[in-house]
Chain A
């Protein structure tokens, strides 16, 4: 780079929209990323996925910054002056775009670095191919600012910048609602995959090609004297977009067996977390063991705990027969992974640990999630999930009462409400009080009978058990 170009670029960097773009992207990025820190703290791949998620806010900012920069010559009425210089139109355009892109890149780099500073000291799994996701995020900002610059040049209105930003915001939002391949045309991802899945590098290379070709086409349209030249990058963009749009949606996520490998704490009973979550094992294991002790002496009681992230779809179904993968938990098309549990392990007697939202920003176990969930309630959920039929309208009221009482008992609750959004009725509280007033051996016998009835989906027995506590 010649000294002259470097000087012009430096002036553009300080006097254009680059500083505002860098600052707004860094502030918005850090605010949004750290607001959802429970989804990525301590894990590299989720950090990259969440960086892609927050692009829904950052891409519109980059587009608006580009559009504002693109309209600058017109606002300052210096278009003719610049046209009279001996420079080709693409040269000032390229310098202008480079300054905006550098501004947006600085903002995104600050955001990612702030997250990485919290992940690096504690991460227990290095992740697989997540850096490609970060590269796609940068390419997304480059493309958005190029399209913004082109639109800002072509449409002579001050409001182009905010309107284009809002349009990008809407398009990004609509893309996240799509389940097919078109969602990947935007650099955003619709949700984080808890670090146990990854996107193939080849696919992300195609995404980068699509985004950069789109940026090049936008720049050539407004910067080149021969506009037809834009057909070349446009053709590349279309060729790259076809396999993206016509390919699978959620099926692009590949299971990462290494991330899901079980890492177990020393000692008994067995408490294991997925490798990607193992950085909280020392926090989780003693508390879970303490809770598993409650089940000692209960016929059919739980004797181990395993991270939900590690389980395959079939294993989740076996561990939580009535409450297994439903709805968007395992979207259609997403590829399942092989079993990581040892053959012969009785999943029926295994507590499935769902640590979602329970990891705090500094990668330790949170006392209570923002939804009110605690580790105690997560472990106790196993008592309710033992119910073997699909949960729905056909479940008798007494069975609900029995399930609720069993959960309260497993959580070691006293009189207060669980505080996680579930509501315990007066009748359930009274039934639970009745159970607690019984001698310990009778309590455990009742719980044993409950587990047997719940697993067999025996509504008559559950009704009878609930009746015993009236």
Chain B
């Protein structure tokens, strides 16, 4: 005799079907958002960043870890641009009509992207991590992701790359030298970890961008 507490065969069948459907939905979602391709791209970026950082530091006339600024700015920027395409579906309007808790999906999406970019980049920058290394790579990952998500809310995911791309290009060359704390609120990508303002600015951008994206989602195509 089957005990009362044990689920019936019918229940177990339904549960298995539901789990299977959920897994299938998740896999379809991951494929539709180009997550696999983006992950492969991020892995390639991390490897190139690793090589480039070593090359820069070992140039005859460079003075140590601070020669890695181009990598510290470029690698998180490229990682954020790669994941930006996945911030909206092919048909955002249609997706939103599904009975899916999109805010949860969106927050997992952003958190996953931060982890997927930040973790491998941090591993590549562990040498002198506080002097243009792991700490700065993680900070810039969060800052650029914040800019990408903010831009996705305002102009849509397909053009979300433009904001961090243009911003990074300008500040890289327009930052007043020597670096000071007074300008850190807008020159945060090139600042050293010792700049508290830079770290807080990047963190604030990440929080604001993520919140806006989680609540509002990417701007829909028809309103563009």
Contact = CB atoms under 8 A, between A and B. Distances in A.
Interface of A: 24, 27-28, 31-32, 35, 54, 56-57, 60-61, 64, 158-159, 161-163, 165-166, 169-170, 173, 177, 327-328, 370-371, 421
Contacts of B175: 35
A158 B74 contact: no
A165 to B, nearest CB: 6
B166 A35 contact: no
Contacts of A327: 61
B165 A64 contact: yes
B59 interface: yes
A163 B81 contact: yes
B160 to A, nearest CB: 9
B165 A32 contact: no
Contact of B176 (A35, A57, A169, A328): A35
A61 B162 CA distance: 10
Contacts of A64: 165
Given A159-B161, A421-B178, A35 B173 contact: yes
Q: Which 7 A-B pairs have the closest CB atoms?
A: A162-B161, A35-B174, A162-B81, A57-B169, A32-B173, A32-B174, A31-B174
A58 B173 CA distance: 11
A177 B174 CA distance: 19
Given A32-B173, A169-B169, A158 B61 contact: no
A90 to B, nearest CB: 28
Contact of A159 (B70, B85, B177): B85
Interface in B87-103: none
A11 B109 CA distance: 39
A54 B174 CA distance: 9
A358 to B, nearest CB: 15
A318 B74 CA distance: 43
Nearest to B37: A157
A371 B170 CA distance: 21
A173 B70 contact: yes
B84 interface: yes
Contacts of B178: 370-371, 421
Decide if the interface of chain B is mainly helix, strand, loop or mixed.
helix
24 contacts: A24-B166, A27-B170, A28-B169, A32-B170, A32-B173, A35-B173, A35-B176, A57-B169, A60-B169, A64-B165, A158-B85, A158-B158, A159-B85, A163-B82, A165-B165, A166-B78, A170-B52, A170-B70, A177-B56, A328-B61, A370-B176, A370-B177, A371-B178, A421-B178
B82 A159 contact: yes
B77 interface: yes
Contacts of A32: 170, 173-174
Interface string B42-56: 000000000010001
A421 B177 CA distance: 12
Contacts of B81: 159, 162-163, 166
A169 B168 CA distance: 11
B170 A57 contact: yes
A173 B77 CA distance: 15
Decide if the interface of chain A is mainly helix, strand, loop or mixed.
helix
Interface string B172-204: 111111100000000000000000000000000
Contacts of A54: 173
Given A64-B165, A328-B61, A371-B177, A28 B170 contact: yes
Given A158-B85, A177-B56, 11 more contacts: A32-B173, A32-B174, A57-B169, A57-B172, A64-B165, A163-B81, A165-B169, A166-B74, A166-B165, A327-B61, A371-B177
Nearest to B56: A177
Contacts of B165: 64, 162, 165-166
Given A31-B170, A57-B172, A170-B70, A163 B78 contact: yes
A32 B177 CA distance: 13
Given A28-B166, A421-B178, A57 B82 contact: no
Contacts of B70: 170, 173
> Which of B162, B177, B178 lies at the interface centre, i.e. has the most chain A CB atoms within 10 A of its CB?
B162
A56 B74 contact: no
A299 B45 CA distance: 63
B74 to A, nearest CB: 6
A64 to B, nearest CB: 7
Nearest to B165: A162
> Which of B84, B161, B177, B178 lies at the interface centre, i.e. has the most chain A CB atoms within 10 A of its CB?
B161
B59 A177 contact: yes
B47 to A, nearest CB: 14
Interface in B133-173: 158, 161-162, 165-166, 169-170, 172-173
B161 A57 contact: no
Contacts of B176: 35, 370
Interface in B202-218: none
> Which of B82, B84, B170, B178 lies at the interface centre, i.e. has the most chain A CB atoms within 10 A of its CB?
B170
Contacts of B61: 327-328
Nearest to B73: A169
Contacts of A371: 177-178
A31 B176 CA distance: 11
Nearest to B180: A370
